[in-house]
Amino acid sequence: MNRHDESNTMDKPPDCRHLSWHLPNSIDALLPLAEDVEVFGQQAGWDDAVLMQVNLVLEELIVNAIDNGYPDGRDGSIDVRIESSTKEICIHISDDGDAFDPFGVATPDLSLAIEDRPIGGLGIHLVRSYMDNCAYHYVDGHNQVILIKHLSYSPS
């Protein structure tokens, strides 16, 4: 797993922080990613709930990318970039797997008893509920997911 950390760039507001990862398409990459996200989020001033939500969203989408984008088990790569300011978090996830729109999955019927619900869809439902904007595109042989979460900070 390769990591690149930038605190600021010229074209972004001065309060903007960035973190990028280049991951193998392996479940083993999730724990180090989650640990880095926790440190990055703490440095960016995220509260515990936001940290949990971002890590859950990343895990859900990366597992979906691995399971659906590489069904034959071939090697591939997943790139994750997080940009955070005091106003919002923007997450970009890109992979070179088979085309798969995670947001094309039907919303689960939460009125059914858990034993009556079909398997699948609940994780993506959580992604949609934790993020304010979710978008998917397939461009030049890559799945592209862009997520935005608006932050509300109370003045100290």
Instruction: Please state the rounded mean pLDDT for residues 9-38.
Output: 85
Q: What is the mean pLDDT of the chain?
A: 85
The ranges assigned to domains in the chain are 2-150
More confident residue, 114 or 148: 148
**DSSP per-residue string spanning the chain:** -EEEEES--TTS-TT-EEEEEEEES-GGGHHHHHHHHHHHHHHHT--HHHHHHHHHHHHHHHHHHHHHH-TT----EEEEEEEE-SSEEEEEEEE-SS---GGGSPPP-TTS-GGGSPSS-HHHHHHHHH-SEEEEEEETTEEEEEEEEE------
CATH number for 2-150 (one of 3.20.20.120, 3.40.50.2300, 3.30.565.10, 3.40.50.300): it is 3.30.565.10
pLDDT at 65: 96
Share above pLDDT 90 across residues of the chain, in percent, rounded to a whole number: 70
pLDDT at 119: 55
pLDDT in tens, 111-131: 556 665 555 556 788 899 999
pLDDT at 73: 92
pLDDT in tens, 65-91: 999 999 999 999 999 999 999 999 999
Q: Is the pTM of this model over 0.85?
A: no
